[in-house]
Structure 1
Amino acid sequence: MKLFEYVLLIASILGCLYLIWANSRVRPRTALIIFASLLGTLFLHLVIEHFRWLMVPVYGIVIVAAIGCILKIRNYASLQPKRLKSVLLSLCALLAGGLTVAMTGFLPLFQFEKPSGPYRVGVIDYTWTDSGRSLANGSNRRLNVRIWYPASDEPSTPAYYIPQADLFIEAVKKQYGLWSLLLSSYRRLEIPAQYAAPFYNNADPVPAIVYLHGNHLGTRFTSTFQAIDLASHGYMVIAIEHPGTAFLSVFDKDNYTPFTNLFTELPAQFSAHNAVSIPLLEEMHSDVQFVLDYIQDIDHHDSNSLLANRMDPDRIALVGHSFGGAAAAHILAHSTTVKAAVNLDGYLYGEYPDEAPQKPLLIINGGLDIEGLEETMNGLEEEREIRNRMLGDTGLEVTLPKAGHLNFTDLPLYSPLLKILAPDPKEQHRLINEQTLQFLKKHL
């Protein structure tokens, strides 16, 4: 909870209890002071911290207390309520306050750790259209891209966690319903980055990391913990949101693409999942190549772009989680542009040559065993053979024993209820960043 949320919670409960128990002894002047204090605190909370649905029980207490104050200010005479009624009213106020504390505890306004690198971080969002690829409806493929980069020390606008939050949350409400309530709490969640800040004043182009999210719950912002840290060490981090595999890709209020699950009816067999995965991975490869080409020539599209001539095309790596990790390995095997890749807890779906290119690949596995969620995929011997082939002599495989699959994203920060699936997220994030950064520094 934020400062004025705490103040409003305490003030509303105390004010309500005072009005209940003092009742006829409350003077109009005292009621006026309580009324003004509550409305003043509510005003500051709404202006500075903004409305949160999790605070609705407290807003209810404020309304009840305000009504009680108005009646006292007007010298409304009332009998002293019976003790049982006072007790019940007090319990209602305390329960409403307790409910708010519980809900805000289960869905906290989390904060990211300060990036470990020496640079400030800038972030900017784009939507680009690939005119060379057409969809079934005849339109061209559009991609939302969020880019983090080392920024100058000049003051700029604070950046928010969710890009175009109002538009995104409204689309989530249409598509997924109650999911929008969770995300609405993060509408104005600031991150340790400056929006559209000037690039760091260094003439040398910087290495680029293309980040590839996982299936279903992935978006261009759900691994902010890692993107911010990499950018603070001097990397340009390009997070592409792939329509169809992302949770939701929103382009405008009437145009968005939800996740399409092509795996639900498949048997739990690696080869079956791999066959369905290959076309998706090829499409993601095309997305990556289009975005890299666009950034390389961005001065032709926007002569004033802060990214113009900032990316080093000879130092490009991929980092991907889950299905995005498979895409990272698949693209590494087929691209002449990408020099290294990091697979974060993903199967190696894709097509791979018999003689894999000797390019560095880091695989970080989550080693957490959860009762009831044991591995059910069959045919993993084939995946293990691909893995060994791709690792070759230059690759590295690491297992973090306490990391769950979701630990490789921001999602465990959303609620402590996810602790059983992803324990100690900040410590696991630190270890993931440490391993990834060490690998990239060595190979880029």
Structure 2
Amino acid sequence: MMRAFEVVLLVADAVMLALLMISPQRSRCGHLALVPIAAAIVQLLMEGARWQLVPAYALGVVLFAALLVRAVRPAGGTGSKDAAEPVGAGSAGGRRRVRRVVVAGLGLVVMGGAVAVPLAVPVFRFPEPTGPFAIGTLTYHWVDEARAEIFTADPGDRRELMAQIRYPAEADPSAPRTPYLENAEAVTPALGRVLQVPGFVLGHLRYVTTNAVRSAPALPGRYPVLVFLAGRMGLRQVNTFQIEELASRGYVIVALDQPYAAARVIFPDGRASDYDPRMNNRAFKVAHIPHLARDVTFALNRLVDIDRNDSRLQGRLDLGLAGLFGHSLGGVVGAQACMMEPRLRACLLEDAFMPDEVVRTGLRQPTMWITRDAATMRLERHRAGDWPETEIEEHHRTMRAVFETLPGEGHFVQVPGMLHLDMTDGPLLAPPLLDRPSDQFPEVLLESTRK
């Protein structure tokens, strides 16, 4: 859905193009020559520029120039003179009509692009959460002084995390909503690498807002806590659609940016940690899973401090009811964290293989896996070059192995036709780039075991 002044701009362009094509008295359009330019200026001032509107801006300039020329120097005199000239293809009148048809055709093509591009990649809005609670958000910078950062060469570096907490809050309909991406200009180039598009393609994300209000007063009561881990080269924001729904239903969600596994992490002092390309090497990635999993233990310890001492969330976090959910690498790391951390009472692991240690040891908590069937993964591989057959086999074998050894309740859910990024905000970020491999979603396959 397009924004209001984008619609005004496109309507102005369409009306001016129609007048240019059909008006027999060219001078009548002169007083309207400024309308497309005025509409573009208003849109730029009120909503900001974005590349998806370049065809609309360009068309407005061309229409302004064409209408101005008509008003100042009418070509061929009045409509009556045009009507008296021969109409053969070789006559002056015929040539003018051919030119008019060509120009009209080109104008319609550009107009089609001006409408299609912003519709295909809109400044989207997150769906209104369906739960009864409004949402507040706070962002924290945490430093684990007891743990060295093993991704860097400096032995003095400590492990740092950025954490964004969403929680049930007092409703304030007039309060401004927080941006989807803080520091969007610095983050979108890294996110573009995840989606395999130039960073400028995602420039419109700086205008996207969420349903949360920064530092909104927390509602009284204690709420269960969920830790969220994003996938490899992801960001803490990439499952906002899911996080906001859970917060509106009475959960506190702590989304972690894990430096060197995330696309880019921006710290409060302006420093940035970028994704470590060594994480593309499977052996390196697997070796660092325990290090990443210890981020969860550290986060739980910090949440204990927040519940005791942070006036904004004091007494609101029920850490006796803590759980975790993670997608892709976040699911891999999340499984390791659930094995290591008894304070996690339940786990949701989305489309992730299970580490060897987790397969050997198993999980104790109630756990749900959400994934796709192997056939869908193969279709996605042919489209995007992902998912070698060995990884498809490991993916399903290891998830099922842990599922089948659960001592209590668990669920194994397969959604045929679902893409890997469909479990994130990906389809909102760049919808034309994430065409799904099939047009229909067959019935979800659910397996359960209960104690």
What is the TM-score of this pair, normalised by structure 2? 0.80
**Paired residue for 1:160, among 179, 185, 201?**
179
- C-alpha distance 283-387 of structure 1, shift in aligned 2 (>3 A): same
- C-alpha distance 288-205 of structure 1, shift in aligned 2 (>3 A): same
Q: Is the CA contact (8 Å cut-off) linking 1:19 and 1:26 kept in structure 2? A: no
Residue 293 of structure 2 aligns with an amino acid whose one-letter code is H
**Paired residue for 2:106, among 84, 88, 92?**
92
Aligned to 1:149: 167
* Aligned-residue offset at 1:95: 1.4
Distance in 1, Cα, partners of 2:162 & 2:340: 24
Q: Does 1:400 find its partner at 2:406?
A: no
- C-alpha distance 210-21 of structure 1, shift in aligned 2 (>3 A): same
Distance in 1, Cα, partners of 2:398 & 2:20: 68
Aligned to 1:383: 398
Q: Deviations over 1:88-113 (max 9, x none)?
A: 22222211111222322332333333
Q: Does 1:32 find its partner at 2:13?
A: no
* Aligned-residue offset at 1:143: 1.9
Q: Is the CA contact (8 Å cut-off) linking 1:278 and 1:349 kept in structure 2? A: yes
Kindly report which structure 2 residues correspond to 1:129-278, keeping only aligned pairs within 5 A, or say none. 129-135=143-149, 136-137=153-154, 138-155=156-173, 156-169=175-188, 179-200=198-219, 202=220, 204-216=221-233, 218-251=234-267, 255-262=271-278, 264=280, 273=282, 276-278=284-286
* Aligned-residue offset at 1:330: 1.2
Distance in 1, Cα, partners of 2:361 & 2:169: 41
- C-alpha distance 142-423 of structure 1, shift in aligned 2 (>3 A): farther
**Aligned positions, number:** 417
Aligned to 1:412: 427
Aligned to 1:10: 11
Distance in 2, Cα, partners of 1:327 & 1:339: 16
Residue 190 of structure 1 aligns with an amino acid whose one-letter code is T
Aligned to 1:269: none
Aligned to 1:316: 322
Stretches of structure 2 lacking an aligned partner (at least 5 in a row): 78-94, 382-386
Residue 342 of structure 1 aligns with an amino acid whose one-letter code is L
Q: Is the CA contact (8 Å cut-off) linking 1:167 and 1:253 kept in structure 2? A: no
Residue 126 of structure 1 aligns with an amino acid whose one-letter code is Y
Aligned to 2:81: none
Any idea what SS the aligned residue of 2:177 has? strand
Distance in 1, Cα, partners of 2:421 & 2:211: 22
Q: Is the CA contact (8 Å cut-off) linking 2:294 and 2:337 kept in structure 1? A: no
* Aligned-residue offset at 1:237: 0.7
Q: Is the CA contact (8 Å cut-off) linking 1:8 and 1:58 kept in structure 2? A: yes
Q: Does 1:295 find its partner at 2:303?
A: yes
* Aligned-residue offset at 1:366: 1.9
Residue 402 of structure 2 aligns with an amino acid whose one-letter code is R
Residue 372 of structure 2 aligns with an amino acid whose one-letter code is G
Aligned to 1:103: 117
What is the TM-score of this pair, normalised by structure 1? 0.81
Q: Is the CA contact (8 Å cut-off) linking 1:326 and 1:350 kept in structure 2? A: no
* Aligned-residue offset at 1:58: 0.9
* Aligned-residue offset at 1:228: 0.6
Distance in 2, Cα, partners of 1:239 & 1:391: 26
- C-alpha distance 20-165 of structure 1, shift in aligned 2 (>3 A): same
Identity of aligned residues (%): 26
Give the superposed CA RMSD. Answer: 3.6
Q: Is the CA contact (8 Å cut-off) linking 2:168 and 2:250 kept in structure 1? A: yes
Distance in 1, Cα, partners of 2:412 & 2:226: 19
Distance in 1, Cα, partners of 2:26 & 2:400: 81
Looking at CA atoms only, which structure, 1 or 2, has the larger radius of gyration? Answer: 2
- C-alpha distance 149-385 of structure 1, shift in aligned 2 (>3 A): closer
Q: Is the CA contact (8 Å cut-off) linking 1:150 and 1:232 kept in structure 2? A: yes
Distance in 2, Cα, partners of 1:158 & 1:324: 27
Residue 218 of structure 2 aligns with an amino acid whose one-letter code is F
Aligned to 1:285: 293
Distance in 1, Cα, partners of 2:129 & 2:242: 9
Any idea what SS the aligned residue of 2:107 has? helix
Aligned to 2:384: none
Q: Is the CA contact (8 Å cut-off) linking 1:149 and 1:199 kept in structure 2? A: yes
Aligned to 1:339: 345
Distance in 2, Cα, partners of 1:411 & 1:399: 19
Distance in 1, Cα, partners of 2:439 & 2:141: 35
Aligned to 2:130: 116
Q: Is the CA contact (8 Å cut-off) linking 2:190 and 2:263 kept in structure 1? A: no
Any idea what SS the aligned residue of 1:313 has? strand
- C-alpha distance 424-132 of structure 1, shift in aligned 2 (>3 A): farther
